[in-house]
Amino acid sequence: MPHLKTLGELKLENTTFTRPLPLLLLGYLSLEGSQQRKHLAELFWTQGNRMKSLSMTLTRLRQGAGEIVGADDKRTWTTLSSDAKTLLSALDKSDWQQASELYTGAFLEDVVLEDWSSELEEWVYSTREYLAERVQCALLNLADEAAKTQMFDKARDLSERAYKLPGLIGTELTNLKRLYPLLCAGRSLLAPE
């Protein structure tokens, strides 16, 4: 069964399908759930016959990757699993260890389409930042647990990873206040930053 990788790269595992726009559409459906066809057409295509472009893309997906998308006259959906959806599930369950292992890079890192809509671009960047911020908190929780058991080297390593996490635009002040003592306790060279 195909699995969509969106963290650190965009790849449909167990297939040879590599077209970025259809894969981005799968990523969107995987995280956002069933969507109105008209909304998808307007979000993913800025010109031409948008509904026809959506239909052609869904056909290409089915031909290249099997029955991973469903559609009727009004809605489109996917039953495909994705690493981002699994990550969100781990975060929602407070499974910090699994979340830290699943986060292998920024959401849709290096994915840029020439003519994507501003709304789609905003969705990509805001989702990237949202996931990174949640993973940063997970890493800080793990670092706190390590520091409480006097495993300061582990706390330092987790804190450094949290500080440099791909996908972050910046670090919230509350997280910086958590980071600093953890970095100091582990004698990190990043503490002065």
Reply yes or no on whether the pLDDT at 192 is more than 70.
Answer: no
What integer is the mean pLDDT of 55-59? 94
Sign of torsion, CA 44 50 51 56? negative
Give pLDDT tens digits for 138-163. Answer: 999 999 999 899 998 899 899 889 98
Residues 6+ apart with CB under 8 A from 153: 186
